[in-house]
Structures are given as C-alpha cells and as structure tokens.
Amino acid sequence: DAGVIQSPRHEVTEMGQEVTLRCKPISGHDYLFWYRQTMMRGLELLIYFNNNVPIDDSGMPEDRFSAKMPNASFSTLKIQPSEPRDSAVYFCASSLRINYGYTFGSGTRLTVV
C-alpha cells in the first residue's frame, strides 16, 4: 500500500481564494482524520469521519472550512475564502479501527498571502 496520499504537497494562494486539499486514505481503514499543524498550536484535529460519515467537526475553525468524504477512498478539505491565518500544514490520517495507531500522509503546506 502506498500509504495515505495527500495532494498537493504545497499550495500558495492569495487571500480570498478557494483552496481544496485532497486525501486518499489507506484502503480498508474505517477512520479518516484531518489535522492542522502550526508552531503555535501544534496538531489540532479539525474533523474526522467513520465509514465516510462525519462524526465530529467541532475542531473546524469556522464556516469557511468544509470537509467531505464522498466514498471510502477520497476526502477533501475546502477553505473558502482563505485567509493568511489559515497558513499551516494540513495532515490527513487514517486508522483501521478504534484504538489503532494512525497513518498520516505527508501533509499539504498551505501558504495564504
């Protein structure tokens, strides 16, 4: 398995533009997580899915953020409109079962100018 695949690796966009981050989890993993990492706040959970259903989105900063998982092999995180404070590394992770370790992707480094 190629692991969790995220795209793009880097994204630079102007304030106000829409940004879409993509994730392909490991096949057979029931859980998918979106995290954001910054120096100041560390790794923060944004949202997670179980069997493609959003379970907890309490970490989503505001309505500008949305996430979908249309099928077991694909998820997106969208920011519209983007702001400079959204600049961070966004990680997608998947997990086989509850209480199992997570497999993280390589992340998307987002810079909003």
Partner 1 sequence: SQKIEQNSEALNIQEGKTATLTCNYTNYSPAYLQWYRQDPGRGPVFLLLIRENEKEKRKERLKVTFDTTLKQSLFHITASQPADSATYLCALGREAAGNKLTFGGGTRVLVKP
Residue type for position 87: S
Q: Which stretch binds partner 1 (CB under 8 A): 11-19, 63-71, 72-80, 90-98?
A: 90-98
Residues between 32 and 71 with contacts to partner 1, criterion CB under 8 A: 33, 35, 42-43, 45, 48, 50, 55-56
Q: What whole-number distance in Å separates Cα of residue 12 and Cα of residue 86?
A: 11
- Contact of 14 with 113, CB cutoff 8 Å: yes
Strands (E), 3-73: 5-7, 10-13, 19-24, 31-38, 42-50, 53-56, 65-71
In the complex, minimum distance from the CB of residue 107 to partner 1, in angstroms, rounded to a whole number: 5
Nearer to partner 1, 74 or 104 (CB): 104
Q: Does 103 bind partner 1 (CB under 8 A)?
A: yes
Q: What whole-number distance in Å separates Cα of residue 35 and Cα of residue 48?
A: 9
Q: Does 105 bind partner 1 (CB under 8 A)?
A: yes
Binding stretches for partner 1 (CB under 8 A): 4, 31, 33, 35, 42-43, 45, 48, 50, 55-56, 91, 93, 95, 97-107
